[in-house]
Amino acid sequence: MINPNFKHLRVFIEIARRGSFRNAANALHLSEPATSQAITQLESLIKVKLLDRTTRSVRLTEAGLTFLIDAEKMLDGMDRAIVGLRDFAASGRERVSLACLSSTVFHLLPPVLVEMKRLYPAINVIFLDDTMRGILRSLENSDCDLAIVSEDSLTKAELTIPLVEDTFQLVCSRDHPLGAKREVTGHDLSAHELLLLRRGSGIRDVFDRAIEPLGIDLKIVYETTQVHTLLGLVEAGLGVTVLPSMLCPGPSNTALAVRPIQNPLVSRRLGIVFPEGKEPSPAAQLLAEVVRQTVGSETMIKPCGVHSICL
């Protein structure tokens, strides 16, 4: 039985990009019959029509447009894996991949990578910043050797090595009424227009679960996927927002004020997890230990509101 393979995907992608079987065949150094046969096999195996063909043109079907995105991702992932394998074989260096929440990269990773380079120069650390959902997929597929994530009971992401507690804080413009308070409450928030990250993001989920028991109505006027956009809207005076301390602007930003939140106290626990059912490599274990020691060190500067919980 023939299964879909990377040759099928390459032929499909080239046809989609070049708009003809002939041009795709030339680019891949194949004959036109071989190119046509590859697409026929692919459509037969997945039982979905991917291309509409006429004597003059080739167009992607709606299913083909959707499949093209996934096919390009799969090929790109394979190409990167092959390049990494060749680099490893050529250099003799060990390689370890770390997936990390985008919201933690700026503060946690630089000192960790510096320490890894100092202690273990023969280990290459490859890191991928992603959302919680993306990292969970990477862990499930064993696409990374370890990850720094937010503990989440709903997704059963239990930390193997706890690192920090990251409390959420209010961010508002300097002249906003809440900026005059030493700390704010959930009821204070309900009296003002809120700008938040969109539902479905790990950060928003943590905030929603913390505020729900209070039974208060929030006036959410804007939602976005980008923190920089959120802070720009706040600075323009369009509302206030709530973010983990890792993402709050520092003291050098004189246009914005950051205030702690009480009742509810909102926080997330960050730490290291490994892919389930996969024995961590020696390089992965060394990296995990360097992360633990570096983040737990008293000399590491953390944003106000972030506290070490390393064991």
Question: DSSP letters of 111-148?
Answer: HHHHHHHHH-TTEEEEEEEE-HHHHHHHHHTT-SSEEE
How many residues does this entry show for the chain?
Answer: 311
- The confidence score (pLDDT) of residue 89 equals 53
Mean pLDDT of 104-133: 88
In one-letter notation, the amino acid at residue 108 is: L
- The confidence score (pLDDT) of residue 4 equals 75
- The confidence score (pLDDT) of residue 1 equals 45
Q: Which residue has the tokens 């008293």?
A: 298
Dig out the tokens for 299 from the structure: 């000399």
Render pLDDT for 205-234 as a digit per residue (tens, 0 to 9). Answer: 899 999 999 888 999 999 998 899 999 999
Enclosing H/E stretch for 195? strand 193-197
pLDDT mean across residues, the chain: 87
Is omega for the bond preceding 162 within 30 degrees of 0, making it cis?
no
- The confidence score (pLDDT) of residue 191 equals 93
The CATH architecture of the domain made up of 92-162+270-308 is: 3-Layer(aba) Sandwich (3.40)
Render pLDDT for 17-38 as a digit per residue (tens, 0 to 9). Answer: 988 899 999 988 889 999 999 9
Measured distance CA(13)–CA(35) in Å, rounded: 11
**What share of residues in the chain are helix, strand, coil (percent, to 5)?**
45, 25, 30
Dig out the tokens for 16 from the structure: 């989609």
Banded model confidence at residue 135, pLDDT cuts 50, 70, 90: confident
Q: Where in the chain is the domain with CATH 3.40.190.10?
A: 92-162+270-308, 164-268
Mean pLDDT of 64-88: 78
Task: Report the topology of domain 6-86.
Answer: Arc Repressor Mutant, subunit A (1.10.10)
Q: Of 296, 274, 271, 270, which Cα lies nearest the Cα of 283?
A: 274
**Res 144 pLDDT > 70:** yes
73 or 89, greater pLDDT = 73
Helix residue ranges, H only, 29-61 = 32-46
Render pLDDT for 168-192 as a digit per residue (tens, 0 to 9). Answer: 999 999 999 999 999 999 999 999 9
- The confidence score (pLDDT) of residue 142 equals 84
Model's pTM, two decimal places? Answer: 0.66
- The confidence score (pLDDT) of residue 298 equals 80
Banded model confidence at residue 85, pLDDT cuts 50, 70, 90: low
Q: Where in the chain is the domain with CATH 1.10.10.10?
A: 6-86
Measured distance CA(214)–CA(34) in Å, rounded: 65
Measured distance CA(240)–CA(185) in Å, rounded: 13
Render pLDDT for 251-308 as a digit per residue (tens, 0 to 9). Answer: 889 999 999 999 899 999 999 999 988 888 888 999 999 999 999 888 888 889 999 9
Distance from CA of residue 172 to its chain's centroid?
26
CATH superfamily, domain 164-268, is Periplasmic binding protein-like II (3.40.190.10)
Banded model confidence at residue 92, pLDDT cuts 50, 70, 90: very low
Residue 250: partners with Cβ closer than 8 Å, 6 or more residues away: 303
